A and B are shown apart, each in its own frame.
Chain A
Amino acid sequence: MNELNKIHKIIFDAIDVLNEGLDIEKRISKSNDTVLYGTNSRLDSFGLVNLIITVEEKIQDETGVALNLADEKALSRKSSPFLTVGTLSAYIEELLKNT
């Protein structure tokens, strides 16, 4: 499994955890194009924050690396890393490469 596939799996596992607590119509799907926080997003602020924290915890469990995905650096990027599963995966891949 390559790095990006691993990251996808981590995000999908985190989506499963998040979906557990959401009403059926608010659940989010598991695909590269799934909107996390952007146009037609179904997540509220706490949904987004909880998803990010679960992803961070799972990355640490699997790779031993403690990432901070939503620091000021992430927030001040011109293009938000949290728009879709795809943009978040790319951002995590970039951070892991630099560790």
Chain B
Amino acid sequence: MHADFLTDAFEKYSGSPALVWNGRSYDYKTLLEIFNKRSSEIKSVYNLRGKVTALKSDFSPESVCLMLALIENECITVPLNRNSKENENKISDIAMCEWLIETDENDNVSYKDLENTASHILYDSLKEKNHPGLVLFSSGTSGIPKAAVHDFTNLLEKFKTQRTAFYTLNFLLFDHWGGLNTMFHTLSNGGLLVFTNDRTPENVCSLIEKHKIELLPASPTFLNLLLLSEAYKKSDLSSLKIISYGTEPMLPGTLKRLNNIFPGVKFRQTYGLIEIGVMRSSSLSNDSLWVKLGGEGYTTRVVDNILQVKSSSSILGYLNYPSPFTEDGWFITEDYVETDGEYFRILGRKTDLMNIGGEKVYPAEIEDVLKELENVAEAIVYSEPNSITGNIICAEVTMIKDADKNEFKSKIRKHCRERLENFKVPSRIIISDKIDYTERFKKKKPVNNRS
């Protein structure tokens, strides 16, 4: 019932190609068959109706159909990225996952009973309504990830309106709403989704040429790298119609160069947060960072220069943090904005949340990991602007006992690489005699900062 609008679309576009995965094309009819098989398995073999289920995967035919089957069966889905180094047990514990469904790199599916019982007021509210749920994670102020709970039926509502779908390269990740948003949009409108694990500019450009990709959802960091690699010179990218970008502020110079290199392409800025989903947006012009935000289901207001959003698809709340809403139901984005009539320009974050290549992380998470290391007395983490990834992470550390600074830096890097995802490993490490605690805030200039 909950996935009817998608299965109806699958029937309607039955013979058309839906996905390209591992170089192989899958049509809508095949997806429907996989969906039917998985849905009845989830319902009748494993009895997962309403269960909190981790889906550990990456985009693939099975993972797409499994997610739809979990929606259909009113499960609460916790997508986990198979390639992530993030501590999976920690995440699974926070979400109180009851079952784990996993797909491997050959798309083989396995089920595991985690012998757990989930209990939370937010889960109860979903179960009472017989609605499917979605749990997404974002970095938390205290270093512990925040688990955001969505009512999946609210998120899916906007995909019931028919829109134009394109041949799309799904560049974004499986455990992020951006990636799922692209997937639902494309599949509910009969478009083609091309999946890839290799997100280098070279591979992305060759896939655009090979599959005649029309829409590329990307991040400003990727677009910087595309320019630096000059990969666009080596492939025929004439099929491209739209490049959408979001997740982090774009440098005006990058946008200008992109416009020169791709004269026929429309550049579209999007604005999305885990807590509110992705808002429809339209840029003032192709080379403008001013953007109109909203679309059906969203209203915006600005209080003390901070953007607030009211949305029918906001999260119900966090499992492990206080509610992020005002008393009258507005979500405080913590983003500083400038306004001009209906248009907004996103300036940067109010909090010390760092935006590194579009991935968001709080300093506390990295400071906690640094402090685990022997001979670390104090550690402070902050961001510094960088033209390629928007910001880089800097860590300033003091030692308990004097030691060789270069060797100690190596040890810190090694430890961070083992414990953290790539983008969270500090790029600049400073060994100091004494830490000035205002450092983090001195380095951050909230307004005008690109983070």
Contacts and interface: CB of A to CB of B under 8 A. Distances in A.
Given A44-B200, A45-B221, A72 B410 contact: no
B428 interface: yes
Interface string B315-356: 000000000000000000000000000000000000000000
Interface centre among A17, A46, A71, A75 (most CB of B within 10 A): A46
Nearest to B225: A45
Given A75-B253, A75-B388, A82-B228, A53 B410 contact: no
Interface string B364-393: 000000000000000000000011110010
A40 B202 contact: yes
Given A45-B388, A46-B423, A49-B392, A37 B413 contact: no
Contacts of B228: 37, 48, 75, 80, 82
27 contacts: A17-B410, A21-B417, A37-B228, A38-B229, A38-B230, A39-B229, A41-B202, A45-B222, A46-B357, A46-B389, A46-B425, A48-B225, A49-B388, A52-B388, A53-B392, A57-B428, A71-B387, A72-B251, A72-B387, A74-B387, A75-B253, A75-B254, A76-B253, A80-B228, A80-B229, A80-B230, A82-B228
A53 B227 CA distance: 19
A48 B427 CA distance: 10
B224 A39 contact: no
A83 interface: yes
A76 B228 CA distance: 9
Contacts of A57: 428
A44 B422 contact: yes
Nearest to A71: B387
A65 B17 CA distance: 56
Interface in A30-77: 37-41, 44-46, 48-50, 52-53, 57, 70-72, 74-76
A46 B422 contact: yes
A94 interface: no
A25 interface: no
B277 to A, nearest CB: 26
Contact of A39 (B202, B257, B386): B202
A40 B224 CA distance: 17
Contacts of A20: 410, 413-414
Contacts of B230: 38, 79-80, 83
Nearest to B222: A45
Contact of B387 (A38, A41, A70): A70
Given A53-B427, A80-B230, A45 B253 contact: no
Interface string B197-241: 000101000000000000000000110110111110010000000
Contacts of A37: 225, 228-229
A45 B357 contact: yes
Given A39-B234, A46-B427, A21 B413 contact: yes
Interface residues of B, number: 31
What 3 pairs across the A-B complex have the smallest Cβ distances? A72-B253, A80-B228, A70-B387
Given A21-B413, A75-B227, A82-B228, A49 B202 contact: no
B370 to A, nearest CB: 16
Interface of B: 200, 202, 221-222, 224-225, 227-231, 234, 251, 253-254, 257, 357, 386-389, 392, 410, 413-414, 417, 422-423, 425, 427-428
B229 A70 contact: no
B224 A49 contact: no
Contacts of A48: 225, 228, 388
Nearest to A56: B428
Contacts of B202: 39-41
Contacts of A76: 253, 257
A20 B254 CA distance: 32
B386 A70 contact: yes
Contacts of A70: 386-388
A57 B410 CA distance: 15
A17 to B, nearest CB: 8
Contacts of A46: 357, 389, 422-423, 425, 427
A46 B224 CA distance: 12
Contacts of A83: 230
Nearest to B424: A46
B229 A49 contact: no
A91 B414 CA distance: 30
B243 to A, nearest CB: 17
A6 to B, nearest CB: 19
Contacts of A49: 386, 388-389, 392, 427
Nearest to B234: A39
A80 B227 contact: yes
Contacts of B389: 45-46, 49
Given A39-B234, A41-B202, A80-B228, A53 B428 contact: yes
B427 A39 contact: no
